[in-house]
């Protein structure tokens, strides 16, 4: 079986899983994973599919703009659901249960919302490759009966990106994102001012043309990570100085440009090193 046949087969497996749902409310973040679920749900279920984006201080405004554009492109119904994790003292304390509490807050709202609107299932973008990671949010999803069509269809990240490209999704190669609270090491308080500072810093880096960025906030000290293939540009003196100046203006005490580049879980690794 050639690559095209494999990608087509993956799409058809996912389509079959989605069609059996009957109707679905999809937790939609704007990443390629949930976008693929939304696309197939809309194509298969039509008006019986609804994309819902949870918005809070941990979700960048640029990502919200993207979700709206993607839903317009796909033609799917889109609903914004406002949340506020900062009301949860345990979340603010940034313990190991942070992700679990965030997802519990989300699904405890989406499941009754789906029931009230007449949707049979709530779906997420969990996929095959997530099984090997520490994903407390998956525990919350199981507890609330959330379906994971990508996982059920046996799709991993590479297959998802290939399927997205095959279907013409504009974000098929979009770098993975994560909520802004993940930039703050465990045990350090998550505050609105820190989240806003991180969001503004990353928005500036994106405006400078970088595609994959993280600004880690270590007790007010910024550590800037970009993709491996963007490191040379980051360390050009004019660009590096401009970034440093801007981040100090935003309130960071100091700025480090990380020569190792972006890596998943970088905040956790640095906090235990």
Give the CA distances from residue 62 to residues 14, 193, 222, 254, in Å, rounded to whole numbers and listed in that order: 28, 18, 20, 25
Query: What is the arithmetic mean of pLDDT over 120-149?
Result: 91
**pLDDT score of 271 more than 80:** no
**Distance (Å, rounded) from C-alpha 258 to C-alpha 95?**
25
Do residues 51 and 69 make contact, with C-beta atoms less than 8 angstroms apart? no
Which CATH number applies to 180-272?
A: 3.30.70
Mean pLDDT of 19-30: 98
Query: Smallest Cα–Cα separation from 33: which of 54, 14, 16?
Result: 14
The DSSP code for 175 is P
Residue 258 banded pLDDT, cuts 50, 70, 90: very high
Query: Sorting pLDDT into bands at 50, 70 and 90, what band is 273?
Result: very low
Which of 26-35, 125-134, 155-164, 180-189 is the least confident region?
125-134
Query: Helices 192-207 and 61-74, interaxial angle, to 10°?
Result: 60
Express each pLDDT in 146-205 by its tens digit: 999 999 999 999 999 999 999 999 999 999 889 999 999 999 999 999 999 999 999 999
Find out whether 41 and 15 touch, Cβ atoms under 8 Å: no
Q: Which residues on adjacent β-strands are paired with residue 82?
A: 55
- Work out the average pLDDT over 27-40: 98
**Averaged pLDDT for residues 15-22:** 98
Non-local CB neighbours of 166 within 8 Å, separated by 6+ positions: 4, 7, 8, 11
- Domain positions in the chain: 3-166, 180-272
pLDDT for 134 beyond 80: no
Interatomic CA distance for residues 28 and 14, integer angstroms: 17
Q: Please state, in angstroms and rounded to a whole number, the distance separating the CA atoms of residues 101 and 98.
A: 5
CATH of 3-166, one of 3.40.50.300, 3.40.50.620, 1.10.150.120, 3.40.50.720: 3.40.50.620
pTM of the entire predicted model: 0.93
d(CA 63, CA 65): 5
The H or E element that residue 266 is part of is helix 266-272
DSSP 95-153: -TTHHHHHHHHHHHHHHHHHHHHT-SEEE----GGGGGS--HHHHHHHHTT-B-HHHHT
| Radius of gyration of the chain from its Cα atoms, rounded to whole angstroms | 19
Band of pLDDT at residue 117, cut at 50, 70 and 90: very high
Predicted local confidence at residue 133, as pLDDT: 66
Strands 24-27 vs 121-123: parallel, antiparallel or unpaired = parallel
CB of 224 closer than 8 Å to CB of 215:
yes
Are the C-beta atoms of 27 and 52 separated by less than 8 Å?
Answer: yes
């Amino acid at each position: 079986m050639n690559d095209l046949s494999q990608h087509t087969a993956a799409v058809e497996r996912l389509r079959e899983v989605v069609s059996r749902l009957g109707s679905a409310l999809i937790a939609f973040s704007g990443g390629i994973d949930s976008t693929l679920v939304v696309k197939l749900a809309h194509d298969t279920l039509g008006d019986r599919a609804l994309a819902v984006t949870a918005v809070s201080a941990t979700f960048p405004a640029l990502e919200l703009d993207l979700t709206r554009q993607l839903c317009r492109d796909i033609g799917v119904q889109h609903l914004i659901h406002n949340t506020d994790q900062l009301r949860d003292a345990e979340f603010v304390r940034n313990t190991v249960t942070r992700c679990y509490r965030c997802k519990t807050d989300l699904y405890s709202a989406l499941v009754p919302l789906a029931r009230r609107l007449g949707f049979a299932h709530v779906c997420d973008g969990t996929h095959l490759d997530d099984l090997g990671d520490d994903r407390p949010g998956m525990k919350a999803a199981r507890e609330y009966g959330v379906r994971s069509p990508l996982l059920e269809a046996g799709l991993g990240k590479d297959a998802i990106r290939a399927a997205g490209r095959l279907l013409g999704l504009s974000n098929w190669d979009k770098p993975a994102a994560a909520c802004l609270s993940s930039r703050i090491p465990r045990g350090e308080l998550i505050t609105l001012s820190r989240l806003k500072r991180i969001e503004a810093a990353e928005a500036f880096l994106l405006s400078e043309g970088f595609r994959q960025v993280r600004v880690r906030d270590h007790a007010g000290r910024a550590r800037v990570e970009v993709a491996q293939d963007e490191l040379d540009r980051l360390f050009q003196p004019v660009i590096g100085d401009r970034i440093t100046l801007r981040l100090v203006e935003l309130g960071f005490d100091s700025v480090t440009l990380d020569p190792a580049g972006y890596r998943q879980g970088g905040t956790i690794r640095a906090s235990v090193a």
